Chains A and B, each alone.
Chain A
Amino acid sequence: MLDFSFSKEQKMIKTEFARLVKDLVADNAHEMDECGTINPEIVQTTWEMGASISGVPEKYGGYGAKSSPIENCIILEELAYGDMGYAIQASLPSLFIQPLLLFGTRRQQEKYLPIYCSERFTACSLAFNEPWFGFDANELRTSAVRKNGEYILNGKKCFVPLAEEASHFIIAANLDGINQLFILEKGNEGIEISAREKNLGLYGLATNEMQLADCRIPVVDRIGEDNGCDFARFLQGTRIGLCAMAVGICRATLDFVKRYAKERIQFGEPIAHRQSIAFMIAEMSYEVDAMRLLNWKAASLLEIGKDAARDSYLSKLFAGEKAMKICDFGVQILGGHGYIREYPVERYYRNSRGISILEGMATV
């Protein structure tokens, strides 16, 4: 039945991650963005919270909990409230673990899951986006062809997070007209990782282009092996994950602007006392809520094992547009101060541009 309130557990999760972000990320986010590195110690501390492996069975080293898309939305929102680059990096193993949990064969789970259930954060990645005009997640150009007991992959990927560090990748590729996922190990001769990309946002997160040239993958490393995977479900989860992060950025913008507008004095009174400013903030506040609720609605479908194709599609469309609008309002309300990097709204604005563009950067 409809319920808009947190369970005790959900409340606890939110509180824990909010505290983590407040204690570790908030004061470091600007620095991490400026120096282009997400502090590995902060990532490690986040890793130790265990969110990424909570759904992994105990026999593989996880906690054996039921994986909950809504809970994951709550966590991603909190992480991105600190910084989106950090949020992507810290939750990256989920992008590898989750498809294995959902669609992996027993052999695949036995082989790969324990690697990512260790005490140390182990980098892995997902190669999803492709650098062509009009990139469409449903029409991947990276191809997989089955030949002599192997899959041969060809194509080009971009925005591959932590490509240089990752010991495993999941590659999204088109196999006979349908999109599928493949596990690729570091050191495969068919891949070439280009120099680090220079992006508009997410300065802290290292991403690379990746070339796949006759990249050979054993047939047993197609996720789900011969049964394959439900790519649509995977895509829905990643979209909802990205939107949850969008909500985090927007809430951070809103919170910052609320404080700022009450402290900034012009014409003898706080600018928050002006309707022109106050109404922008009112709009920001209900649009953030709307983004979150719309996304939770999509996540609710996944939670009960239903198809969220329509709802996740609409959520991404909505979150993409509203994130830009809200973060734009953030910069605008700060005026000149919003334009300089000293204030976080500048970073939020750049990062928010990625919401509608990127795919497969987080999952629930």
Chain B
Amino acid sequence: MVHLEIDEKIAGMQNNLKNIANAIFRPISRKYDEAEHDYPEELDMFRKVATLSQPKKKSGEKETRKELKQKSNHKGNNIGTNMRLIFSTEMMCWGDAALLLSLPNAGLGNAALLAIANDEQIARFGHKWIAMAITEPQSGSDSGSISTTAELDGNEWVLNGEKIFVTCADRCDAVVVWATIDKSAGKAGVKSFIVEKGTPGFKLEKLEHKLGIRASDTGTFLLKDCRIPKENILGDPRIAKNTEGFKGAMKTFDNTRPLVAAMANGIAAAALDFLKEQLNEKGVELNYKNNVHNVSSVEKEYYRMEAELEAMRMLTWRAAWMADTKRANNVEASMAKAKSGRMATLITQKCCDILGPLGFSRKYLAEKWMRDSKIMDIFEGTGQIQHLIVARNVLNLSSSELK
């Protein structure tokens, strides 16, 4: 039965998380934005705890999966893993999105590992901090066209290529690298491999200087005759006749896109909360009562943005709820990210605009949120890619019909 109001228990949980974000992230938010690439050592305390972004794994992997399934069978009676992550991610990003991305052992590679690794791989790498390397200089959204290669030589894979825009490049222990084992097989030939730091031929080439999320270290890796054990391939090493394998890998995005949307929502909420504080200080009371044409234009803008934020949350929650209840959420995940990525960008811009000098000064965080939010419409698939996915689905068109 449709019910979209969170109960007091979750509201309490959100409040606790907000307090944590406020106490731990906010005080160092500016510091690591200015000190780009420095490791936020204050976050080391998270290394040992079951981190927010990493569902706790028990000794028997199968048991855990069973448990998850049992949980999801209580349709709507329980808060699922994805939903929990959505709530915590939004609140942590209300604190600072770049610092959330810097949480130890909570990289995208960790998510990929949990999604597709076998028991032995979980045992070997489960405790590590794992980054994800997909993008290449010539291959962005079209991740099926990657040219990094992996060749089997005896008991080892030999990797060659260049990977850019790898989050946590400096701080991670290992990287999930996407490479093709047969270029002629197209997408079907694309596989992912775990490459540990320190492996000969695996070199962190440089760290990028970015518009926002500066506390997060984004880097470039060079792979030159980099040899890794045969067992380090994730998923099925065979080349399928179809692209199901690739589609399977892309499925990770069904879980991560709502997370990016939640990040966007958190930043937008931070900007709106700050704006609201300023309005309150000025004596403007937001009472959700009068006709929007009878209030000041600033109040109207605020209401509009708050309505947008609530809408963003609804689309995000839905996508996560669908994942938790084992429903196919590919379109809904893209809808959430398309909406939240774009609107968070616009909301944070507008907040700076309304805040005037306070919105342009680095004395306040509003300008930082404007820079940070911009990435939400770019990584994990640009807004345009999300629109493409949504459009193909709602119009029932193939990728060759709607390019």
Give chain A's interface residues, CB within 8 Å of chain B: 1-7, 9-10, 70, 134-139, 258, 261-262, 272-273, 275, 278-279, 281-283, 285-287, 289-291, 293-294, 296-297, 300-301, 303-304, 306, 309-311, 313-315, 317-318, 321
Do B310 and A294 touch across chains, with their CB atoms under 8 A apart?
A: yes
Q: How many residues of B contact A (CB 8 A)?
A: 53
Interchain CA distance A321-B384 in the complex, whole Å = 23
Task: Tell yes or no: B1 within 8 A of A by CB.
Answer: yes
Interchain CA distance A281-B396 in the complex, whole Å = 12
A286-B390, A309-B289, A311-B310 known; A4+B2 contact, CB < 8 A: yes
Do A314 and B307 touch across chains, with their CB atoms under 8 A apart?
A: yes
A286-B335, A318-B307 known; A136+B387 contact, CB < 8 A: no
Residues of B within 8 A of A289 (CB): 315, 318, 332, 335
Could you show 6 A-B contacts with beta carbons less than 8 Å apart? A275-B403, A293-B314, A297-B4, A297-B310, A318-B308, A318-B310
Residues of A within 8 A of B322 (CB): 4
Least distance between A23 CB and chain B CB atoms (Å) = 25
Give chain B's interface residues, CB within 8 Å of chain A: 1-7, 10, 75-79, 83, 288-294, 303-304, 306-308, 310-312, 314-315, 317-318, 321-322, 325, 332, 335, 338-339, 384, 386-388, 390-392, 394-395, 397, 401-403
Residues of B within 8 A of A309 (CB): 288-289
Least distance between A315 CB and chain B CB atoms (Å) = 7
Residues of B within 8 A of A70 (CB): 1-3
Residues of A within 8 A of B290 (CB): 136, 138-139
The winner among A2, A70, A262 for most chain B CB atoms within 10 A is A2
Knowing that A5-B325, A289-B335, A318-B307 are A-B contacts, what are 7 other residue pairs whose CB atoms are under 8 Å apart, sorted by A's residue number?
A1-B3, A279-B387, A279-B388, A282-B391, A294-B311, A297-B314, A300-B5
Interface residues of chain A: helix, strand, loop or mixed (majority): helix
CB-based closest 3 A-B pairs: A3-B76, A293-B314, A278-B391
A2-B76, A262-B395, A290-B339 known; A273+B4 contact, CB < 8 A: no
Do A296 and B394 touch across chains, with their CB atoms under 8 A apart?
A: no
Cβ-closest chain B residue relative to A319: B307
Do B318 and A293 touch across chains, with their CB atoms under 8 A apart?
A: yes
Interchain CA distance A285-B306 in the complex, whole Å = 21
Interchain CA distance A303-B5 in the complex, whole Å = 10
Cβ-closest chain A residue relative to B76: A3
Cβ-closest chain B residue relative to A135: B291
Residues of B within 8 A of A1 (CB): 3, 7, 76-79
Do A258 and B1 touch across chains, with their CB atoms under 8 A apart?
A: no
Do B307 and A2 touch across chains, with their CB atoms under 8 A apart?
A: no
A275-B388, A309-B289 known; A293+B4 contact, CB < 8 A: yes
Do A278 and B402 touch across chains, with their CB atoms under 8 A apart?
A: yes
Interchain CA distance A262-B402 in the complex, whole Å = 11
A5 partner, pick from B76, B308, B315, B384, beta carbons under 8 A? B76
A294 partner, pick from B314, B386, B402, beta carbons under 8 A? B314
Least distance between B267 CB and chain A CB atoms (Å) = 18
Do B394 and A258 touch across chains, with their CB atoms under 8 A apart?
A: yes
Interchain CA distance A73-B167 in the complex, whole Å = 44
Least distance between B335 CB and chain A CB atoms (Å) = 4
Interchain CA distance A312-B362 in the complex, whole Å = 36
Cβ-closest chain A residue relative to B314: A293
Interchain CA distance A310-B77 in the complex, whole Å = 26
Do B3 and A303 touch across chains, with their CB atoms under 8 A apart?
A: yes
A290 partner, pick from B5, B75, B311, beta carbons under 8 A? B311
Do B1 and A3 touch across chains, with their CB atoms under 8 A apart?
A: yes
Least distance between A251 CB and chain B CB atoms (Å) = 12
Do A300 and B2 touch across chains, with their CB atoms under 8 A apart?
A: yes
A2-B4, A296-B4 known; A282+B387 contact, CB < 8 A: yes
Do A273 and B310 touch across chains, with their CB atoms under 8 A apart?
A: no
Interchain CA distance A283-B395 in the complex, whole Å = 12
Residues of B within 8 A of A3 (CB): 1-4, 75-76, 321
Do A293 and B315 touch across chains, with their CB atoms under 8 A apart?
A: yes
B1 partner, pick from A10, A138, A291, A318, beta carbons under 8 A? A10
Cβ-closest chain B residue relative to A304: B5
Cβ-closest chain B residue relative to A318: B307
Interchain CA distance A3-B75 in the complex, whole Å = 8
Residues of A within 8 A of B390 (CB): 282, 285-286
A10-B2, A137-B291 known; A281+B311 contact, CB < 8 A: no
Residues of B within 8 A of A136 (CB): 290-291, 294
Residues of A within 8 A of B289 (CB): 138, 309, 313
Do B402 and A272 touch across chains, with their CB atoms under 8 A apart?
A: yes
Cβ-closest chain A residue relative to B7: A1
A282 partner, pick from B1, B293, B304, B394, beta carbons under 8 A? B394
The winner among B384, B388, B395, B403 for most chain A CB atoms within 10 A is B395
Least distance between A256 CB and chain B CB atoms (Å) = 13
The winner among B7, B338, B386, B402 for most chain A CB atoms within 10 A is B402
Cβ-closest chain A residue relative to B293: A134
Residues of B within 8 A of A303 (CB): 3
A272-B395, A289-B335 known; A294+B307 contact, CB < 8 A: yes
Residues of B within 8 A of A281 (CB): 391, 394-395
Interchain CA distance A204-B297 in the complex, whole Å = 35
Interchain CA distance A278-B399 in the complex, whole Å = 12
Interchain CA distance A297-B6 in the complex, whole Å = 9
Interchain CA distance A290-B391 in the complex, whole Å = 16
Interchain CA distance A287-B78 in the complex, whole Å = 28
Residues of A within 8 A of B306 (CB): 314
Least distance between A309 CB and chain B CB atoms (Å) = 6
Residues of B within 8 A of A286 (CB): 315, 335, 338-339, 390
Interchain CA distance A224-B5 in the complex, whole Å = 29
Cβ-closest chain B residue relative to A235: B289
Residues of B within 8 A of A2 (CB): 3-6, 10, 76, 79, 83, 317, 321
Least distance between A244 CB and chain B CB atoms (Å) = 12
Interchain CA distance A145-B391 in the complex, whole Å = 57
A4-B322, A279-B387 known; A285+B303 contact, CB < 8 A: no
Residues of A within 8 A of B317 (CB): 2, 4
